[in-house]
Every structure is written in structure tokens, then in C-alpha cells.
Amino acid sequence: MIAADCAELIRRFGLTLDDGKHRGLIMGGDGCPDIRDATSFKPQHAWADGPYREVYTSNTELAVFTYCEGDLTLEICSTRELYDALILSCKRFYL
């Protein structure tokens, strides 16, 4: 089951969920969307790259929402272990 904040992002931006382990589907767009009202998502400022990339994580939803040069990606993990591995992968890649 998809939690409320993730379901709202999927609805708002027209994302369609892949049936893989924890991946969302990418959607193109102009500029990073404002997701401040999705309260469980917190910006990861150290992972950002000016106007080109913004990354938000939700420990509650076990999800990562990324804007990168016009593409939106929502990754939803089915377990805490997968989420922790995704966060570690993000830290290694972005830092």
C-alpha cells in the first residue's frame, strides 16, 4: 500500500508506479516542484546541486523524491532495509 504523501505526489505529478522492488517512474518537467506541503519529505541540501538537482527523503514513507534537470523520480521502498540501502547509495553518489 502506498502511504498518503507518496500517493499525493504520484497524483499531483502524474507519476506512474513501477512494480519493481522500490522504483518509481521518471516524469519530465520544468523546474523543481514545490513539495513543502508533503510534510514527511525533508530536503537533503547536501545532495542538491543548485537549480539542477534537489533531493527529498521521507523516513516515514520510506521514499526518496528527486528532481534532476527536469526529471522527477519517486522511489518507494517496501522495507526499511531497502530504504536504508537506497539512502546509503544516495549518500555515496551525491556526496
Contacts of 5 (CB under 8 A, 6+ apart): 38, 39, 40, 41, 58, 60, 61, 63
Containing structural domain, residue 38 = 4-94
Q: Which three cell numbers stand for residue 86?
A: 537506497
The total domain count for the chain is 1
**How do residues 1-17 score in pLDDT, each as one tens digit?**
456 667 777 777 666 55
**How do residues 16-41 score in pLDDT, each as one tens digit?**
555 444 344 444 445 555 565 556 88
CA distance 74 to 1: 15
Burial 65-86 (b: 16+ CB within 10 A, else e): bbbeeeebbbbbbeeeeebeeb
Q: Which three cell numbers stand for residue 49?
A: 546541486
Q: Which pLDDT band, with edges at 50, 70 and 90, does 51 fall under? A: confident
What is residue 74's predicted lDDT score, i.e. its pLDDT?
Answer: 82
CA distance 69 to 58: 21
**Which neighbouring-strand residues pair with 71?**
28, 68
**Residue corresponding to grid cell 542538491:** 48
What is residue 22's predicted lDDT score, i.e. its pLDDT?
Answer: 37
